[in-house]
Amino acid sequence: MPKAFLIDTTRCTACRGCQIACKEWHDLPANATKQRGSHQNPPDLNPYNLKVVRFHEHLDDEGRVMWNFFPDQCRHCVKPICVTMANKAVPGSMIKDPKTGAVLVTEKCREMDETGVKTVIKSCPYNIPRWDAEKKMLVKCDMCIDRVQAGLPPMCVKTCPTGTMAFGERDEMLALAKKRLAEAQKRFPKARILDVPEVSVFFVLAEEPEHYHEYASFG
């Protein structure tokens, strides 16, 4: 059965445990970092960070500072345009796993030319895939497919200490997302779930997506 994530941002404390756990499980090297005037670090997804907790602050209608945290990752779309575009460039370079719904990059991606790479990257409405110049292939969240196939949750979900993240059968996660939404709306009248049914990562937000990230929603 297809799998899905729930990411309830109303519970996120920006501990970034998910971000670090993802790096450790995929054996990704550290990034050179510096202070850029934001608590968010690194500033964006890159070949060594397949998940980034984004920070956004703004003033609400009453002039209060609002902090929103957004654990950004591949949405594992139900109909992934990246897979379509990648396979036009090099057949088999990206696939959607029929059992889990995970959108995956394959070794055949190394055969893709620069035009194909740019086309795939631009096709993603969430601005997710990145080019790893060292590996010479596109990289992105792979749903920790090795763990999922072994009956284990993705590493980011396992690490989350606040219940922000959950993972399981798609129908069960959608039901949980709706339950979490009802709870969130008691405190946050503008709360919503993003982009259902097009994606397999259900984000519960406290307010409008523009107060989280430019590419939070394709709508």
**178 C-beta neighbours (distance < 10 Å), count:** 14
Chunk the chain into consecutive blocks of 10 residues (it has 219) and report each block's average pLDDT, rounded to whole numbers: 96 97 96 85 96 93 89 98 98 98 98 97 98 96 98 98 98 98 96 96 97 92
The pLDDT of residue 66:
86
Q: Which CB contacts under 8 angstroms, 24+ apart, belong to 37-43?
A: 39/14
The pLDDT of residue 39:
85
Nearest residue to 106 (alpha-carbon basis) of 95, 114, 117: 95
Q: What is the DSSP letter of 49?
A: B
Cα–Cα distance for residue pair 76/212, rounded to 1 Å: 19
| Pairing verdict, β 3-8 and 103-105 | unpaired
Cα–Cα distance for residue pair 80/55, rounded to 1 Å: 26
